[in-house]
Amino acid sequence: MCAAPFAAQASEVPFDQFLHQAAAQEAVSINYDDWSYVLRTTVFEGGRSDRTHAAPPAPGIGRRIVKGNTSSTRFEGNRLYFPAFKGQNLVTLKHIRAELEAMPGAVPLVEWTKNQQLAYWLNLYNIKLVELLAEHYPEQELRSLLYGGGSRSGLLDQPALKVAGVRLSLNNIHHDIILANWQDPLVMYELFHGFVGSANIRSEAYRADTVWDQLRENAVEFINSNRGARMDGDILRVAEIYRENLELFPGGPDELKAHIVSLADADYAPRFAAARTVVASTRDYYIADLFQGYERDLNPNAGNSAAIVEALTGSSNADVAEWMSATMDRQYFSAAPGHVMEYLGKVRERNEAREGNVNVEEYEGSEKTEAPVPE
């Protein structure tokens, strides 16, 4: 059996200054406008899943090799325009992250409200994760890069930040700070892991006044997709990332199932509730990149970048379209890979068909990995 990543062991690093201390009222004003701008111009919103499974992709015209993600969930979820994070853009991203990193040194976290603290940690985690993946781009399969293997640690365990004098890894932020402070399952839905099978990255930063609504929206999107939860006979198959967050479900599989049922659409909630067992085996560790790690398509039959911009224009992704139209041909590539157009076409088709239609999940077949959620 191939084991899924597990939560990091409790750290001996003193995180006391980050735990259980907060102001009752806002004494400082915090905004993340620069990070929101980056997200608004680089995050493509894929919309809600229609519960269909993507058929295996075929090679493009004049090809024998399939490029890109081959998972049945490859059309689900948001995507980042990762090729944007190069050169000066990556320098700018690092500058924004450094400013966030320094904020608790200027104004101690004890002077922030709990919601301000939560929004801060979520934004800091996500911007650092995007920065790390941009530095490794075009790495495509992220499981070993993030979680490591054998004696090699993954990116999530490597000290990558320094906040108020304390060295932190992303797993420290995840487990030793966020989960230690907020025992609410919603907090797991916007720790962006960078791969398709994780929760979405949003097109705006988290804010103290909206953070819980934002988290709930992400939770609903994820649970009502095949990435998050689906039925296989009488088995409820859930994403492997739930195994990383088991401490949020002290009641075990029954509590996890109840959480999923509480946020599932009416068509699926009864089926999930009737599941005999919960198995963590739904996964797609392919990078959540609009171009799937392939910036160029040298096939003369490939489309051009204008086709991508046209597909984005006039939608909720108009800001992405405007930014990409000014940068793609000049900086990144000359032809649009076929798998990009396939994804965009599927999103458009799904959005056009959504209103007034009821979609029924189709059985995909048994997974090879059986990983029951521990009792």
Residue 293 lies in a domain: yes
Residue 44: inside a domain = yes
Q: Would 185 be classed as within a structural domain?
A: yes
- pLDDT value of residue 168: 97
CA 88, chain centre distance (Å): 24
pLDDT at 56: 82
pLDDT given for residue 122 in this prediction: 98
Task: Please classify residue 361 by burial: count the beta carbons closer than 10 Å to its beta carbon, then call 0-12 exposed, 13-18 middle and 19+ buried.
Answer: middle
For residue 175, give the nearest of 18, 313, 51, 324 by alpha carbon. Answer: 18
Q: Give the model's pLDDT for residue 55.
A: 86
Q: Which residue, 285, 344, 332, is CA-closest to 85?
A: 332
- The residues near 48 (Cβ < 8 Å, ≥ 6 apart) are 221, 224, 225, 350, 354
Buried b / exposed e over 134-144, threshold 16 CB at 10 Å, is beebebbebbe
Calpha distance 223→374 (Å, rounded): 20
What pLDDT is recorded for position 206?
98
Question: DSSP label at 236?
Answer: E
Would residue 236 count as lying in a domain?
A: no
d(CA 52, CA 73): 8
* Gap between the Cα atoms of 167 and 132, Å rounded: 16
User: CA nearest 217: which of 204, 230, 234?
Assistant: 204
pLDDT in tens, the chain (375 residues): 344 444 444 445 578 899 999 999 999 999 999 999 999 999 999 989 999 999 887 766 555 566 678 899 999 999 998 988 989 999 999 999 999 999 999 999 999 999 999 999 999 999 999 999 999 999 999 999 999 988 889 999 999 999 999 999 999 999 999 999 999 999 999 899 999 999 999 999 999 999 999 999 999 999 999 999 999 999 999 999 999 999 999 999 999 999 999 999 999 999 999 999 999 998 899 999 988 887 665 454 455 556 666 656 555 676 666 666 655 544 444 455 667 777 877 777 776 665 544 444 444 554 444 556 765
**DSSP for 179-199?**
HHH---GGGGGGS--SBTTSP
How far, in Å, CA of 173 to CA of 196, rounded?
21
d(CA 12, CA 256): 28
For 142-165, the pLDDT digits (tens) are: 999 999 988 889 999 999 999 999
Q: Which of 187, 177, 265, 201 is nearest to 229 (CA)?
A: 265
Domains of the chain: total: 1
Phi (first) and psi of residue 297, to 5 degrees: -130, 105
| Three-state DSSP state, 239 | strand
Residue 43: phi, psi to the nearest 5? -100, 125
Within-domain flag for 151: yes
Q: Is residue 216 part of a domain?
A: no
Instruction: Please provide the distance, in angstroms rounded to a whole number, between the alpha carbons at the two ends of the chain.
Output: 18
Instruction: Output the six-digit token pair for 71.
Output: 């998972």
Q: Residues with Cβ < 8 Å from 325, sequence gap 6 or more?
A: 306, 309
Q: At 166, is the secondary structure helix, strand, or coil?
A: strand
Cα gap 84→127, rounded to integer Å: 14
With tokens 């399969």, the residue in question is 141
In terms of residue numbers, what domain contains 343?
31-209+284-353
Residue 307 domain flag: yes
pTM strictly above 0.75: yes
90 residue type, one letter: L
3-class DSSP assignment, residue 336: strand
In a domain, residue 361? The reply is: no
State pLDDT tens for residues 303-312. Answer: 555 666 665 6
Beta strand spans in 219-267 (E): 229-232, 235-239
Q: In this predicted structure, what is the pLDDT of residue 61?
A: 55
Question: What is the Cα–Cα distance from 248 to 175, expressed in whole angstroms?
Answer: 10
For residue 50, the 8-state DSSP code is -
